[in-house]
Amino acid sequence: MSQDSAPYLYQNFWADFIKYCESQHSILHLPSGSRRKYLSIGIGKTGFSVNPDIYRRSSHVECTLWIDGSKAEAFSGLKSRELEIVDKLRERLDEKPGKVCFAKSQGGRAYKIFESRPCELSNCKAWPAAHEWLKEHSEAYVAVFTPIVKDL
């Protein structure tokens, strides 16, 4: 496998992210690694997860609340609470959250609530800033969405 291949880059990006989170004593319960473009963090209810995610082709990272397509009603309920959710994220983050988007995923099999920021996967020097951003936002998403989702 070439060092520039997507699975290799994903694997190294996530391995470094996991090490960074461990060094920062993160509250996140992370899997051991991945060759995929995302990690999945369970938040206590089937069909919902917080996913730090990286998009190689469009050069950005995302922090996402992933909602299974069978939970369309729950997504509608969360969308109706958009201002409350953004305020809760704002309280958790040192910086003002970026644009929090509520959308149906590509292919329409799921829904997601997410924020993103630029990051070029092939530029390893950009990874530390992306890791810090993903950690902070993933922790905020877990803290904000876990009690909300459990009450659905």
What pLDDT score was predicted for residue 124? Answer: 92
What's the pLDDT tens digit per position in 110-152? 999 999 999 998 899 999 999 999 999 999 999 999 999 998 8
Distances 35 to 9, 15, 50, 150 between C-alpha atoms, Å? 8, 10, 17, 29
89 within 8 A of 144, measured Cβ to Cβ: yes
Nearest to 61 by CA among 85, 42, 37: 37
What's the pLDDT tens digit per position in 11-45? 899 999 999 999 999 999 998 877 778 899 999 99
Tokens of 141: 């998403």
35 within 8 A of 60, measured Cβ to Cβ: no
- The crossing angle, in degrees rounded to 10, of helices 6-23 and 127-150 is 70
Give the predicted TM-score (pTM) of the model: 0.90
What's the pLDDT tens digit per position in 83-99? 899 889 988 887 665 78
